Structure 1
Amino acid sequence: MSLPTSNLTAIAVALSALLLFWSFSATSSSPFTRNFPSLHGKRICLLIAHPDDEAMFFAPTVLALTKPELGNHLKILCLSTGDADGLGETRRKELTKSALHLGLRSEEDVLVIDDPSRFPDSMSKSWPEEDISGLLATAFAPEVAATLNGTAKKNSSKPPSATIDVLLTFDKEGISNHPNHRSLYHGARHFIRSLMQDKAGYACPITLYTLTSTPMYRKYVGVLDVPVTMVQGALANTFARLSRAKKDGAGPARLLFVNSIAEWFTAQSAMTKGHKSQMVWFRWGWITISRYMFMNDLKQERV
């Protein structure tokens, strides 16, 4: 039985309107995204748990923030090789290929930690927040690391310093509720607290943003979730400005990055061409309909 012409017309109009909205909302000058400032001239670290997290969850963010005209320098720090199935070395190489495909400057901007004793790729084990914090301090806040290691005394009169401006990672639910993902949230917050310990009166040199987890029914509606997220984020940013919650230099309360149609295909190919070892059947579904392939909304964490 064929559909009536009127129904087919209505479907065609709805699809056209969706594509038009998608294309329009993905431009930085559109009224939909104008209330979501981007980041400019920042040293940024994306903290992930496994190779493929950067493509499956953070692709819109990476594609947006690596645009040359913004002047950012984005690096990826991955705390495992994803060796649960014995493919650690393969997945390490796949991460580098995917990261370059998404816009990172060079292979040197991808660092993978291979320490399964502390950071095992496991669906049943959490990672100690102190270990994550210590690793971040060693990488980005040498003075804090020296204090933690007992090789230097903390100077409370000296402002905190770091070699990055922005840290991006998962929120407390980890998108997929993976314990490794959730551990990064707690480890990142622990690191910020360590950085600011006994530094009252100083501004934190690092702004922490976390990727927002959503209920299951929103996770798999793709671009249809963009309007809802835009309204929520716009209200949050407006409220932050009105309440003066945003401190000088702290950055916006929310960030929103929406892939264009071309960028959506780029994000997909980061998985299909970069992470070939991971392309089992259910990941094809994820890269097709997951909202995280279309957009990322990140919330600034107050620690």
Structure 2
Amino acid sequence: MMRLRKVIIIVLIPVIVWLITRYILRPSNARILRSHFARKRIAMIIAHPDDEAMFFGPTLNALRKLASETNPGSPELPETNLRLLCVSTGNADSLGEIRPGELRSSAAHFGIPPSNVIIFDDPRVQDQMGVKWPTDAIASLVGPYLTDVDVVITFDNGGVSGHGNHISLNDFAREFLLAQGETAPEVWVLKSTSILRKYISFLDIPYTYISNQFFHGSSRSERSLVVASDMREYANTRDAMTNAHKSQMRWFRWGWISLSRYMVVNDLHLL
């Protein structure tokens, strides 16, 4: 009898978590997604080609799905709907001539046309792991592309991987938000997690939903958003990485694709 109870508990807990996630938490996040992103002009700022697939794939899949709901029949995101601004060519390994083309190919997997992909090559903001970029240099590059946007999406102050270039984009976003004052667009940042959560793939989805809904308070939950990919969307993000960013496909990238929760779930927070 005791063993049977343990089996029932082991089976019941995941089922309850799944039901809560599927029927209570996901609809709430879908409402937040529509209210903040539907029919909005959006700029996603990344540091390097491949950031969009390695870190923001679930968000891009969700935005494409949202755009298709509001603009049925269109295979691509509307030209004014999403700009992908990449601050460097990713030239750390002298591949700066190849990687911009890979980024445009990857963007196509998410319905982003080449005209919406803007890639900068400036000596002040080159791909270097331990370096933080000057925010005024970032502003001079991306600023002209933000004058007509409603929403900006970028990294938080942990940069997901602690990469100095990623963190610099958060520094810029905070300065930009303050400088714009009441006319500023919404700025959403991708939350960094612990090393343990980073590599448990889809197992992190229920925890992410529940923690955002219940651990932050009701007012805070309106300022946070969870987007999770289904298997088809995960496969799309995987293909964007493996088929487009071929120059980056070293052995450890396969580990990231297989284990990283950022391939299947994003939680965004409003600054």
Q: TM-score, normalised by structure 1?
A: 0.76
Counterpart residue identity of residue 69, structure 1 = E
Specify the alignment match of 1:275 in structure 2.
245
RMSD after superposition: 2.4
Counterpart residue identity of residue 130, structure 2 = S
- Unaligned 5+ runs, structure 2: 72-76
* Greater Cα radius of gyration, structure 1 or 2: 1
Asked if the contact 1:133/1:190 (under 8 Å) is kept, the reply is no
Residue correspondences, number: 246
Q: TM-score, normalised by structure 2?
A: 0.84
**Offset at 1:85?**
1.1
Specify the alignment match of 1:83 in structure 2.
91
Cα shift readout 1:201-235 (whole Å, capped 9, x = no counterpart): xx334000000000101100011111111112113
Specify the alignment match of 1:155 in structure 2.
none
| Partner of residue 109 from structure 2, selected from 75, 97, 101 | 101
Tell me the secondary structure at the aligned position of residue 219 of structure 2.
helix
Structure 1 pair 100–130 and aligned structure 2 pair: CA distance change class (3 A):
same
Counterpart CA distance in 1 for 2:139 and 2:121 is 16
Alignment of 1:4-83 (within 5 A): 21=18, 30-36=23-29, 37-38=32-33, 39-67=37-65, 68-70=68-70, 73-83=81-91
The alignment status of 1:190 with 2:175, answered yes or no, reads yes
Specify the alignment match of 2:164 in structure 1.
179
Asked if the contact 2:89/2:119 (under 8 Å) is kept, the reply is yes
Counterpart CA distance in 2 for 1:136 and 1:298 is 21
Counterpart CA distance in 2 for 1:185 and 1:59 is 19
**Offset at 1:241?**
7.0
**Aligned-residue identity in percent:** 40
Which protein is richer in helix relative to its size? Answer: 2
Specify the alignment match of 1:112 in structure 2.
119
Asked if the contact 1:236/1:254 (under 8 Å) is kept, the reply is no
The alignment status of 1:224 with 2:222, answered yes or no, reads no
Counterpart CA distance in 2 for 1:179 and 1:103 is 29
Tell me the secondary structure at the aligned position of residue 31 of structure 1.
helix
Tell me the secondary structure at the aligned position of residue 134 of structure 1.
helix
Counterpart residue identity of residue 43, structure 2 = C
- Unaligned 5+ runs, structure 1: 1-5, 142-162, 197-202, 243-251
